[in-house]
Amino acid sequence: MKPLFLSFPAVVSCLWLLLQPLATRAQVPNRAPVPAEAYKVSATVDTMQGWHRGGAGTLNFSQVSLSHWAAGGQSSLSLLAIGNVYTHYKEGRHSFDAAADLVYGLLKPGKSRLRKNDDRLELNSRYGRQFTQVLSYAAQLNLKTQLTPTTDLEKPDSLLSRFFAPAFVLASVGIEYKPTERFSLFLSPATGKFTIVGDQDLADAGAFGVRAARRGPDNLPIAGTGERLREEMGAYLNARLRQPVLENVTYQSRLELFSNYFHNPQNVDVNWENLLDFKVNKFLSANIAATLVYDDDILVPVGHPDAPDTRGKRIQFKETLGLGLTYKF
């Protein structure tokens, strides 16, 4: 093997390349270090600081028309309006959220009169102070009621409910666990639950769990003596999940549990809401919603054939299917 020889110009060039950075630093002894490449914010870093607002509105419509249909059935028209607005504020470890949800539906079966089939108004507010990456101290306030009166289908003059009759208020202080934006779990060992029945006639009847009117010597209820407010203290759990299932298909769930410390704590009140949302395009959507409710203190008609007015404790269930127009802002 032949030895490797370098020419004098090649040696000089190599030495110049090696010594050139040292010579540059020697000429500028106080030179500031070259800044590193600009830092890129990670996708996991929360940049939602300050105020953020938004909302959405959906209008669902369905129609069935039958003419000489051998299998039977009934023509119907239905309209369901859903609205939601929210505001969110975050600054450092502190955050505040407020939201309002409204659902109102109308139904006209056959030639019968127009009546409503859904009516809900819900207001929520929350303050949180984060003390670890996934845990926060939180205080929440929730109000659920309806907008318009509801009457009995068999007895149109009989009032079943109306605005603030009932209204359910939950005031909670506890700890929230939120490992991701899709899931949160709030647990409160100190929650006040208030049931308000603003209509005195419904309060006298003991509707929605309030104490009914006292009875006189003739065993008849004394008008105006029914309590319009029921107060409870207990533990409260609220779990929320928002999970994409397929492209443009999202599943949302909210589970609320409440146990009264001083009255049958083993009988837990349950409110479980589920929504499967299908986004067809920017304005067209479809959804399936199901709600399960159980409250040990609320008696509902049980449909006994020999006693149609009989009431008892039952699981309440509601399901809706809608296809309509959606607008987000």
Domains of the chain: 50-68+77-328 (2.40.230)
Whether residue 224 has pLDDT greater than 60:
yes
Q: Specify the residue for token string 């600009």.
A: 38
Q: How confident is the model at residue 321 (pLDDT cuts 50, 70, 90)?
A: confident
Residue 235 — very low, low, confident or very high, per pLDDT cuts 50/70/90?
Answer: very high
Residue 162 is classified by DSSP as B
pLDDT of residue 296: 85
**Residue 40 DSSP code:** P
Residues of the chain with pLDDT > 70, as a percent, come to: 82
Q: What is the pLDDT of residue 304?
A: 63
Name which of 219, 213, 217, 209 is nearest 200 in CA terms: 213
Q: Is the pLDDT of residue 114 over 80?
A: yes
pLDDT band at 48 (very low <50, low <70, confident <90, very high): low
**What token pair was written down for 303?**
């449909």
Helix, coil or strand: residue 274: strand
Residue 266 pLDDT:
93
- pLDDT-based confidence at 69, cuts 50/70/90? confident
Residue type for position 264: N
Question: What pLDDT is stored for residue 253 in this prediction?
Answer: 97
Q: Distance between CA 166 and CA 146 in Å, rounded? A: 8
pLDDT confidence bin for 81, thresholds 50/70/90: very high
Count the residues in the chain: 329
Long-range contacts of 148-151 (CB under 8 A, 24+ apart): 148/116, 148/119, 150/116, 150/119
How would you write 189-240 as a 3-class SS string?
Answer: EEEEEEEECCCHHHHHCCHHHCCCCCECCCCCECCCCCCCEEEEEEEEEEEE
For 88-92, 168-172, 284-288, which range has the lowest pLDDT when averaged over its residues? 284-288
